[in-house]
Chain A
Amino acid sequence: MLTATQAGLVSCHECGLLSRWSEPPRGGRLRCPRCDSVLHRRKPDSLHRTSALLTAGFLLYIPANVLPVMQVIYAGRGEPDTIMSGVQVLFNTGQPAVAVLVLFASITVPMIKLLGLTWMALSVRRGWRWRMRDRTVFYRLIEFVGRWSMLDIFMISILVALVKLQALSTVEAAPGAVFFASVVVLTMFAAASFDPRIMWDVEDARR
């Protein structure tokens, strides 16, 4: 069992090529001989960047859920909808399957991303060694499902374009949608900046 780092090698994030690692001179950078990307043994400042993006994500998560994301104006009367009330409406109108889908994409996935990545960052900082493999699988899952949270934003973008029967009914976006979209984008960046290899470094350092 030998890692690339232990073997004095570095793999290029962009093209996967393994090349010999040498400490770059001060202010200099080591580049991949094949694709010319900057080489890093680990994603740069992984823990700091992930933590910063997560903090921003947590902060914006509050207005994203408290503020209305859209407003249905029916016969002159506006009815604001938050993410959660949108799910409730679907439940009440007899669409439980769709309600569960939206609940999953809009509530569960962002929560899993924020809490899951926080837990992983914490596990590195604390030097935990248990369940490495499961944590790596979990990381890949977070990376994969992240984009599906955009579901609500897309739904709003369709409703605003379709429902604009001036006299009768219109749908308008509301400020919460901006916060919600920000959370989705920030957590996508947070997941991308986290390097799962730093979890394994804890294990490798012991051996």
Chain B
Amino acid sequence: MSASAGLIACHDCDLLHRRVPLPPRGVARCTRCGSPLYRDLRGGTERALALSLASIVLLVLANVFPFLTFKMGGLVEQNHLASGVIELFDQGYWELACLVFFVIVLAPALRLGLLVFVTSSLRFGWRPWGLGPALKLASRLKDWAMLDVFLLGSLVAIIKLSDLANVALGTSMYAFGALIVLLASANAAFDSHQAWDALERAPC
């Protein structure tokens, strides 16, 4: 263990580097391939905790309120964020329904819950059972929470329909827009490798 103290290997090219203190918001990059090695995340735990908590509230709002309203010749159709999942299922495309459900409901909700669990434990010095597995699962889910992509997809859908009919944004859409911003900031404030470092440093 002592041999590796103060050293870090580049994730993308394996080159060893000596850890140096960073200026606020600084990023250490690999001298050979340019990949980020580690960042200065002063106050990152608190930021990630606050932003994840707020995101959970917005995620609930985004799922409860109507997402879009579609009006065409006196007919009105309203949907929710996850209505597409049910509709795809009804049309017999259960594979797509499961995938969409996973990436826009399950993965984001689970990741946010785990982030709150991990960052609050770090912040308040708790060492609950399951902290390690929670941290591992949270980092694995990161790429699969695709709410940002979904927002872009819904904008394209709105534009596609705008010729055909009148599409109105629901309350959910505004909550959703704010959610994307908070979620991105929470992700930027959190780094799983640095969370492990903090776990190790903090007295149990």
Contact = CB atoms under 8 A, between A and B. Distances in A.
A95 B161 CA distance: 12
A199 B160 CA distance: 43
Contacts, number: 198
A121 to B, nearest CB: 16
Contacts of A205: none
Contact of B87 (A3, A35, A161, A197): A161
Interface string B1-25: 1011001110111111000000000
Contacts of B204: none
A159 interface: yes
Interface in A95-148: 95, 98, 101-102, 105, 132-133, 136-137, 139-140, 146-148
Contacts of B192: 14-15
B4 to A, nearest CB: 3
Interface residues of B, number: 63
Interface in B43-102: 68, 70, 72-73, 75, 77, 79-80, 83-88, 91, 93, 95-96, 99-100
Contacts of B12: 136, 139-140, 196-197
Given A133-B34, A162-B70, 17 more contacts: A4-B9, A4-B15, A5-B14, A11-B14, A17-B196, A18-B8, A20-B1, A93-B163, A137-B33, A137-B34, A154-B150, A154-B153, A162-B83, A163-B70, A163-B77, A173-B91, A197-B12
30 contacts: A3-B16, A4-B9, A14-B136, A14-B192, A18-B9, A90-B159, A95-B159, A98-B156, A102-B156, A132-B13, A136-B33, A146-B143, A147-B146, A154-B150, A154-B153, A155-B154, A158-B153, A158-B157, A160-B88, A162-B70, A162-B83, A163-B161, A164-B77, A164-B87, A168-B73, A177-B93, A181-B99, A196-B33, A197-B13, A197-B14
